[in-house]
Chain A
Amino acid sequence: AQKITQTQPGMFVQEKEAVTLDCTYDTSDQSYGLFWYKQPSSGEMIFLIYQGSYDEQNATEGRYSLNFQKARKSANLVISASQLGDSAMYFCAMREGQRNSGYALNFGKGTSLLVTP
């Protein structure tokens, strides 16, 4: 079963506007971590933001914030004041709390974001 679901294959946003990228997850673990990565057209994976399952506050990193709703099992990424350089694929990922899994990540299929002038 898919552990991470990103329902928006593609999104458009105008420069300087805010955009929300959706992510829902499925786990029975109490301890887990949620991540967002950005993949520009050059191909590298760039870490953006992390939210731990026990964190009370929503994570923020500069223009990125994670809207964490634990009961709904959602971890949406909010990008404020979009810039042209934000155009990229965005992946939501989850790490479940099992050491023997190597803390490997389960990824969603990604959302392609295009920022227009």
Chain B
Amino acid sequence: NAGVTQTPKFQVLKTGQSMTLQCAQDMNHEYMSWYRQDPGMGLRLIHYSVGAGITDQGEVPNGYNVSRSTTEDFPLRLLSAAPSQTSVYFCASSTLSYEQYFGPGTRLTVT
């Protein structure tokens, strides 16, 4: 049981490039979400999903796109990277029970 996995662990992009951060969970969790963590800001919600085929925006969705074609996977796409998207990205999943399980994070630098 791997829990929540994220790839890559580190990534450097140039401004304007696009990329996809991968997130997968093997716990059959209904709910998945993406957060970004910036220094001094805590974690902020980017997008979330309440099930396959259903996604919605969180607090800071601009510049990001998501889809949820399967229960297991919830990729986050950066459409045209900007330096303001330099951050650490966490994927999380949960059921109706209380705990959110977090992936190990992806550290992204946009130059």
Q: Is the CB of A105 within 8 A of B104?
A: no
B44 nearest in chain A by CB position: A107
A52 nearest in chain B by CB position: B98
Q: Is A44 an interface residue (CB 8 A)?
A: yes
Q: Is the CB of A47 within 8 A of B105?
A: no
Classify chain A's interface size: 20 to 34
Chain B residues contacting A105 (CB-CB under 8 Å) are: 33, 35, 43, 45, 92, 100
With beta carbons under 8 angstroms apart, the residue of A35, A37, A108, A109 that contacts B98 is A35
CA distance A91 to B90 in the complex (A): 14
CA distance A99 to B48 in the complex (A): 11
Classify chain B's interface size: 20 to 34
CA distance A93 to B104 in the complex (A): 18
Chain B residues contacting A109 (CB-CB under 8 Å) are: 40-42
A33 nearest in chain B by CB position: B98
CA distance A37 to B41 in the complex (A): 15
Q: Is the CB of A44 within 8 A of B102?
A: yes
B6 smallest CB distance to A (angstroms): 11
Q: Is B58 an interface residue (CB 8 A)?
A: yes
Q: Is the CB of B104 within 8 A of A102?
A: no
Chain A residues contacting B98 (CB-CB under 8 Å) are: 33, 35, 50, 52, 95
B71 smallest CB distance to A (angstroms): 14
Q: Is the CB of B48 within 8 A of A102?
A: yes
B contacts, CB < 8 Å to A: 31-33, 35, 40-45, 48-50, 56, 58, 88, 90, 92, 94, 96, 98-102, 104-105, 107
